[in-house]
Amino acid sequence: MTYWLPPDTLDFPCPDHAPAKAPLAAGGDLSPARLLRAYAAGIFPWYDEHSPILWWSPDPRMAMRPQDLCINRSLAKARRKNRFDVSFDTAFLAVMRACAAPRPGQTGTWIVPDMIAAYARLFQSGHAHSVEIWQDDILVGGLYGVALGAAFFGESMFSTVSYASKIAFVELALALDRWGYLLIDCQVPSAHMATLGARVMPRAEFLSQLREAVARSMAVGRWPQAAEDRP
């Protein structure tokens, strides 16, 4: 049976023994406080416009340390061509809306309007961030997610030209490594993320690494355009 979150508390069920491939809980809201409580526990929302809010902590989990970034030969060549400009936190809503746009083979999106509004609030509070990839002043790729302690929780990415989303992730991982972040959560296993260095790990291992990462104190706020400038 699905556990429904009580309306008068932010507490979630313990994720250690959550279903491997089913929601941990349902209901609640997308308030900043609840979202940050969820991420700190290794839980994230994932649902569509036809269902209530569903909360997940899958097993296994895909994640990586920023220093484990893998840049293969073709990706390195694409970066060297320097066809793109990169920015941080300058077009958060545009990135979210691009990630929510219909994709080939999909009939809907989990990035519903309430989700966009919720993460916009997290962005305003300095907890959500975006990486933007531009070509001739046109947004052609990017990603967004949530930073908490020394962990970054990747939510979605998009690309309208080859390599744009991968280069966004490369720029993210390189910056996070310089800034002392310990963990990037990629949520569910995907071949796309595996090519960039992410690996599948048991949930127990992920939660152990996550607890260490979120316990570290890190600056909260907009990311600078010069990655090396962030303390």
Tell me the β-bridge partners of 61: 201
**Domain assignment of residue 38, given as a range:** 15-58
**Cβ atoms of residues 127 and 147 within 8 Å:** yes
**Which phi and psi angles does 181 have, rounded to 5°?**
-70, 150
Residue 231 has pLDDT above 70, yes or no: no
Is residue 106 a part of any domain in this protein?
A: yes
**104 lies in a domain?**
yes
- State pLDDT tens for residues 171-192: 999 999 999 999 999 999 999 9
Whole-prediction pTM value? 0.94
- Whether the CA torsion 41, 42, 45, 47 is positive or negative: it is negative
Of 227, 60, 197, nearest to 129 by C-alpha is 227
Higher pLDDT, 100 or 109: 100
| Confidence at 64, pLDDT banded by 50, 70, 90 | very high
Structure token digits, residue 41: 């526990």
What pLDDT was estimated at residue 108? 64
The answer to whether residue 178 sits within a structural domain is yes
Residue 86's pLDDT band, with cuts at 50, 70 and 90, is very high
Find the radius of gyration of the CA atoms of the chain.
Answer: 17
- What pLDDT is attached to residue 185? 98
- Per-residue tokens: 56: 């997940």
pLDDT surpasses 90 at 215:
yes
- Averaged pLDDT for residues 195-221: 97
Together in a domain, 155 and 172: yes
106 contacts: CB under 8 Å, gap ≥ 6: none
Dig out the tokens for 70 from the structure.
Answer: 């893998």
Residues 126 and 153 grouped into a single domain: yes
Residue 22 has pLDDT above 80, yes or no: yes
Asked whether the predicted pLDDT for residue 8 surpasses 50, the reply is yes
What is the pLDDT at residue 229? 53
Q: Is residue 8 part of a domain?
A: no
Indicate if 33 and 112 belong to the same structural domain. no
Q: Are residues 97 and 154 in the same domain?
A: yes
Q: Which of 177, 224, 221 is nearest to 197 (CA)?
A: 177
The count of other CB atoms within 10 Å of the CB of residue 41 is 21
In the chain, the amino acid numbered 160 is T
Long-range contacts of 89-94 (CB under 8 A, 24+ apart): 89/123, 89/129, 89/130, 89/222, 89/223, 90/130, 90/132, 90/225, 91/130, 91/132, 91/139, 91/142, 92/119, 92/120, 92/123, 92/128, 92/129, 92/130, 92/144, 93/120, 93/123, 94/132, 94/139, 94/142
Check whether 56 has a pLDDT greater than 90: yes
- Confidence bin at 83 (pLDDT 50/70/90): confident
- Would you place residue 127 in the very low, low, confident or very high pLDDT band (cuts 50, 70, 90)? very high
Q: In this structure, which amino acid lies at residue 27?
A: G
pLDDT at 105 over 90: no
What are 161-173's pLDDT values in tens digits?
Answer: 999 999 999 999 9
Q: Are residues 73 and 49 in the same domain?
A: no
pLDDT, position 96: 98
Cis amide prior to 202 (ω within 30 degrees): no
The DSSP letter of residue 4 is B
CA-to-CA distance for 195 and 186, rounded, in angstroms? 12
Residues 189, 84: one domain? yes
pLDDT band at 230 (very low <50, low <70, confident <90, very high): very low
Q: What is the mean pLDDT of the chain?
A: 93
Same domain, 68 and 90: yes
